[in-house]
Structure 1
Amino acid sequence: MSERIVTIVRSRPAVVVVAAAAALALASCGTDGDNGDAPSTTRPTAPDTASFSGTPPTALESKASAAVESARAAASAAASSASAAASSFEASVSAEVERANRAAETELEDVDGQGNAMSDVSMTGKPRSETGGLLAVVVTITNKTDRTASYAVQVDFLDGSGKAVETRFVGAEDLEPGERAQPLAISRKPAEPVLTPKLAKAQRY
């Protein structure tokens, strides 16, 4: 009797081992099968970097290069447009008043000092947005006498040290008493350094 009990007890570990092995086998089958419920633990295969091409970097570089060229072209076009606008503005003004300006310059050649009509003339700046970027001043000439008169005006453009680096002449002819004219004195110098216009001479004749 006792020998049988010992035999049964001793045989239980073997049964446990067999049962565990069977459970492990079932779990393995469930994992490897296509219809198993357990999630797959297979690690992804590393990508083959040798198959990568250089197309993306090349495309990006091309886009960057195109953007730079586009910006340069736009800047060049803007500069050309501004230059054309300035030239157009100056040409239109000069066409209207060139003869009077030449007459004014000739008249002031023999004038000593500031002339006899400084009180009849004043100046105001004109926005660069309206002159194509040029420095221009409106010279307001008012005939304050009781008879018809013509005027010659000299405008100097001064640098930071007060030196006249450019001189322009404007004029108005045959103004009736009380009549006013507003010619423009336009500097042809670059925007930098900044120049300051100054009324140098004004002669009534």
Structure 2
Amino acid sequence: MGSGVSRGGRRLRVRRFRCFRSASAAVAVLATAGTLTLTACGGGNNNGGGTTVRPSPTPPATESFTGTPPSPLSSAASSAVASARASASAAASSASARADEFEASVSAAAERANQEAHKRLANVQGRGNAVSDVSLSGIPRAQVNDLQAAHVNIHNSTDKTANFAVQVDFRDPNGKVVETRYVGAENVRPGQTVHPYAISHQPPQPVLKPEVAKAERY
């Protein structure tokens, strides 16, 4: 067509060149849209067949983040710390709930005596007048729902019926007081010894050491 060449020669090559140039332009346009599709130009075959090439995934643009994305190692460490904190919190909650449950089984009179002991000791200076009449002894954990607890042994060494208020401090292995409980005993007869409980609401570990901080007879 205007080139003066034969049908089977140069004219066919020109058609292929134009098809290739058109396909190249189409590739450039489609690539900017995120999809790359190559369509074969038929030399003598008009079946319309083509080849589709899907691009490889690209990493997200860093400008869409604030700060530095965490590395896999730091992410794993953060997850481990969060898991440890959750476990510690669950252990503390469980111990406190078991202590509440055990104390709820104690008589209302004993609970009232403990509350009165707290009030009495608030105004006591020093260690009180009955420290020598009070001692502590251990309790098997199986008897107190696997809690840390102690028997508060209160002995009335006088010749009159008396009431007692005792403060028990629980110390950690470093000697720090981590919890304070108040225990009362009412109408203890002369020469009588009673054994109320002092129950910690802390988790079973670390092991705490209970001690008599104050004791008042009234």
- Coarse TM-score class (shorter-chain normalised): 0.5 to 0.7
Q: How does 1:122-141 map to 2 (within 5 A)?
A: 122-141=135-154
**Structure 2: distance between partners of 1:129 and 1:186:** 13
**Structure 2: distance between partners of 1:133 and 1:94:** 20
**Structure 2: distance between partners of 1:117 and 1:165:** 24
**Structure 2: distance between partners of 1:111 and 1:141:** 18
* Equivalence for 1:197: 210
**Structure 1: distance between partners of 2:179 and 2:161:** 31
The C-alpha deviation readout for 1:92-138, integer Å capped at 9, x for no partner, is: 12645110001001000011111110111111010001111111100
The 3-state SS of whatever aligns with 1:138 is: strand
**Structure 2: distance between partners of 1:121 and 1:88:** 26
User: Once the two structures are aligned, what percentage of the paired residues are identical?
Assistant: 56
Q: Over alpha carbons, which structure has the higher Rg?
A: 1
* Equivalence for 1:171: 184
Contact in 1 for aligned 2:156/2:193 (Cα 8 Å): yes
The 3-state SS of whatever aligns with 1:100 is: helix
Select which of 154, 166, 176 maps to 1:153: 166
The 3-state SS of whatever aligns with 1:193 is: coil
Kindly state the Cα deviation for residue 86 of structure 1 after the two structures are TM-superposed.
5.4
The C-alpha deviation readout for 1:153-176, integer Å capped at 9, x for no partner, is: 000000111111100000111211
* Equivalence for 1:185: 198
The 3-state SS of whatever aligns with 1:174 is: strand
Q: Which has the higher helix share?
A: 1
TM-score (norm 1): 0.57
The C-alpha deviation readout for 1:38-85, integer Å capped at 9, x for no partner, is: xxxxxxxxxxxxxxxxxxxxxxxxxxxxxxxxxxxxxxxxx9xx9786
Kindly state the Cα deviation for residue 193 of structure 1 after the two structures are TM-superposed.
1.5
Contact in 1 for aligned 2:116/2:184 (Cα 8 Å): yes
Structure 1: stretches of 5+ with no match in the other structure: 1-78
**Structure 2: distance between partners of 1:100 and 1:158:** 24
1:119 and 2:137 aligned:
no
**Structure 1: distance between partners of 2:121 and 2:206:** 28
The 3-state SS of whatever aligns with 2:105 is: helix
What letter is aligned with 2:166?
V
Task: Call closer, same or farther: CA 1:85–1:108 in 2, change over 3 Å.
Answer: closer
**Structure 2: distance between partners of 1:85 and 1:109:** 27
Select which of 115, 120, 131 maps to 1:102: 115
* Equivalence for 1:57: none
Structure 2: stretches of 5+ with no match in the other structure: 1-90
**Structure 2: distance between partners of 1:165 and 1:129:** 23
The 3-state SS of whatever aligns with 2:174 is: coil
RMSD value over aligned CA atoms?
A: 2.0
The structure 1 segments of at least 4 consecutive aligned residues displaced by more than 3 Å after TM superposition are 82-88
